[in-house]
């Protein structure tokens, strides 16, 4: 599946970060909390913010790629954007936050914020994050830097159809531990995503953003 950020209306935009829509948030949240659903999250044509107090991942790989995003909410034109694809076979995330800000004509900027993993960590399998920017403290165990993307064997396989940089190289590690994580991303994909203690809020205050 090609890594894409899909289009939609402005109202759809702020309603889709970690769940398909506000109306479906409750049932989807329950499904994710039980580990019942595969998950693919993106926000039409814009980045979203993700923060975490602590992330411990096993089977880590990172390499360059290209996402295709819609330039307008009508989805009539697209543009390529470079991303760093971080992948984990498994991950445990403590105090995770995701937020997106969407300007709505005649209303102002609406913020959607989701929090999870405060008392019990969020868990994920075969997790891919298409990152535009990342700040964190990081510790890697048994790291290899400069491995060809096609030869990396510690992280999940490159997704079928995903656009990676031609001739690109990867880094990989047995484990990756990140603390004080702040990142902006174009998309997140996981085989399963278990969001323990999921909370969703909508509001007009900028303070609702994760950072």
Task: Write down the mean pLDDT value for the chain.
Answer: 81
Distance CA 124, CA 72 (A): 31
Residue 45, pLDDT score:
62
Q: Where are the beta strands (DSSP E) in the chain?
A: 4-5, 39-42, 48-70, 78-104, 108-116, 122-141, 144-148, 169-190, 192-194, 199-203
Average pLDDT over residues 31-36: 48
Q: What confidence category does residue 17 fall into, taking pLDDT thresholds of 50, 70 and 90? A: very low
pLDDT at 26: 37
End-to-end CA distance of the chain: 31
Domain boundaries defined on the chain:
4-204
d(CA 40, CA 29): 13
Q: Is the pLDDT of residue 134 over 70?
A: yes
pLDDT digit string (tens) for 148-191?
Answer: 998 999 999 998 778 887 778 899 999 999 999 999 999 888 99
Q: Which residue has the higher pLDDT, 137 or 150?
A: 137
pLDDT of residue 210: 97
Q: Which of 64, 52, 119 is nearest to 91 (CA)?
A: 52
Reported confidence tier of residue 42, pLDDT bands at 50, 70, 90: low
84/206 Cα distance (integer angstroms): 27
Mean pLDDT calculated for residue range 64-93? 83
How would you class 136 by CB atoms within 10 Å of its CB: exposed for 0-12, middle for 13-18, buried for 19 or more?
Answer: middle
pLDDT at 9 over 80: no
Q: Are 16 and 8 in contact (CB under 8 A)?
A: yes
Confidence of residue 40 (pLDDT cuts 50, 70, 90): low
Element (H, E) at 52: strand 48-70
pLDDT of residue 61: 97
Residue-wise pLDDT tens digits, 88-127 = 999 999 999 999 988 888 889 989 999 999 999 999 999 9
Q: How do strand 4-5 and strand 48-70 relate by DSSP bridges?
A: parallel
């Amino acid at each position: 599946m090609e890594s894409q950020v899909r289009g939609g209306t402005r109202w759809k935009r702020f309603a889709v970060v970690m769940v398909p829509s506000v109306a479906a948030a409750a049932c989807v949240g329950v499904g994710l909390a039980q580990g019942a659903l595969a998950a693919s999250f993106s926000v039409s044509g814009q980045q979203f913010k993700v923060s975490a107090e602590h992330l411990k991942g096993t089977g880590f790989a990172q390499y360059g790629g290209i996402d295709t995003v819609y330039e307008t909410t009508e989805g009539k034109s697209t543009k390529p954007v470079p991303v760093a694809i971080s992948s984990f076979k498994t991950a445990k995330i403590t105090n995770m936050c995701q937020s997106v800000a969407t300007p709505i004509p005649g209303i102002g900027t609406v913020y959607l914020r989701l929090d999870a993993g405060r008392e019990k960590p969020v868990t994920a399998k075969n997790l891919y994050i298409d990152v535009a920017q990342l700040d964190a403290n990081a510790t890697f165990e048994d790291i290899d830097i400069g491995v060809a993307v096609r030869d990396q064997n510690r992280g999940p396989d490159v997704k079928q159809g995903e656009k990676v940089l031609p001739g690109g190289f990867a880094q990989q590690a047995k484990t990756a531990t990140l603390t004080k994580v702040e990142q902006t991303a174009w998309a997140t994909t996981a085989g399963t995503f278990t969001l323990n203690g999921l909370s969703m809020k909508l509001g007009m205050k900028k303070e609702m953003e994760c950072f």
